[in-house]
Structure 1
């Protein structure tokens, strides 16, 4: 619906292999153009762009298919689950000349936009350390999730750290933790319900710590990040709680400096969006406010990020420029997690993260 309401979008179609689901959503939201396969979409000659929201192991191959068909491609995270697939996406984007954007919600949340603006103003001073985490219980989700290596789906925790500081990860040491029940190890050969990594970044002698969990942890959903600077720090530990800013006040007396902490309430940045889609930063937007469909509520999910992502993708096509999270950036944000899992399988061995672009 965000695409439908965007002022620079003329028409929208939907695609799903499940005919009942396809027609149900088409009727509910008023989408007349409905397609039963990606090939049908690519061959019809009607569209300029495709947004892929499919199982993660199809992301890379479908992205390459879309680009090779001469269409712009947006794809949900992660971009891929192997380094070779990332190279294939970058190559297809360059060959086709079309735009590719990885739709990473974590760098468009109201919390990230709050920190990004203040970091750009120099309020944090030198950044000294970063942390990110993403805990999610995937029991009873679709079969392709079962036993997935945690770091193969780590961009929500990694991307804010790299995006804020303009860095990329160059090497990683990662350790697996906990015991995975045997049936969950069969699909991917992954023995770890939890993985935690230390990444060396490529400037300012920075390091970042990232933890990712998918199974066997009694913790409700959380995505968060922490930024520790010399003058200010930012902590957001609980999904449902407000973040905290720590700030140095004066030189202090005796041991240590005076450090104040304040709970902050990051506001939606609807001012960055066209009026027609600005309301989608919150979950109350919908065609029927008395009975909002889950898909509409999710428009305001991920802390208001969805309309910002759509606006950036559409704007990059309209303005004939690369989107912020282009193919190279997507690869540089996805590869660290792939390399981290390899390190965990090798007992924490150092793994060099390849450079893209």
Structure 2
């Protein structure tokens, strides 16, 4: 791909994914090239609304299109890792909504595929591009904040009524919104994690994943750092206002 032309992007999944179409259309270095959705009626509705001519109902057809440089995956969680790996194997750059995967094995396969393909992969975490995060990051970089002593993240959200694959999802399978600000501000990788489950969700919610916990909380030891992090996540049957938050303790 030449460096003097725009990156031709295909968006996969047009639920939440449709919100990115005007962003790519306005980006000076991107071309909103193609969209992909299994439901043809929805595909054409969104394609007509945003003026996107290239449309697919099959992901494999997108990967076989030599004019597609990058795919942006916005599909259900179970599809994230397999579709990311397939995209990398097809020599496409890959951006994927969170979470990237739900197992260590899937994460390793994504890393291996990226190294072999020598293409860019990005987990599209949103919190680290929020106004609040960027403000705190600036305070840290300019020295106003001082030394970080401790970091805490929290994401509380009731997911009842969402698509079926969410039902009973273990909280830490979707914890990127509270983990990412902590790790990014610390500028370190996690070396070890200790996680505890608390409370119980209804038996009907445990059938899919076998996880009984209403809340999961984890402490993170950072590599080559004397700072620790704590993150807490809930998805079902926890009476709490919706929030995605992070706290920074400094001197």
Partner of 1:14: 35
Matched position secondary structure for 2:80: helix
Partner of 1:172: 193
Q: More relative contact order in 1 or in 2 (CA 8 Å, sep 6+)?
A: 1
Partner of 2:80: 59
Q: Give the whole-Å Cα distance in 2 for the aligned partners of 1:194 and 1:166.
A: 27
Which runs of no fewer than 5 residues in structure 2 stay unpaired?
A: 1-21
Q: Give the whole-Å Cα distance in 2 for the aligned partners of 1:157 and 1:203.
A: 21
Pairing partner for 2:226 from 201, 205, 208: 205
Give per-residue Cα distances to partners, 1:104-162, cap 9 Å, x unaligned: 10111000000111101122222111100001110010000000000010011001011
Partner of 1:85: 106
Matched position secondary structure for 1:205: coil
Is 1:47 the counterpart of 2:68? The answer is yes
Partner of 2:175: 154
Is the contact made by 1:4 and 1:12 (CA closer than 8 Å) also made in structure 2? no
Matches within 5 A, 1:276-355: none
Is the contact made by 1:130 and 1:225 (CA closer than 8 Å) also made in structure 2? yes
Matched position secondary structure for 1:101: strand
Partner of 1:272: none
* Residues 1:11 and 1:169: Cα distance change in structure 2 (over 3 Å): closer
TM-score (normalised: structure 2): 0.89
Is 1:104 the counterpart of 2:125? The answer is yes
Which runs of no fewer than 5 residues in structure 1 stay unpaired?
A: 231-357
Q: Give the whole-Å Cα distance in 2 for the aligned partners of 1:144 and 1:61.
A: 16
Pairwise CA distance, 1:221: 1.9
Matched position secondary structure for 2:71: strand
Is 1:38 the counterpart of 2:59? The answer is yes
With 166-175 and 68-77 compared, the bigger mean Cα shift is at 166-175
Aligned length: 230
Q: Give the whole-Å Cα distance in 1 for the aligned partners of 2:45 and 2:53.
A: 11
Bigger Cα Rg: 1
Is 1:133 the counterpart of 2:154? The answer is yes
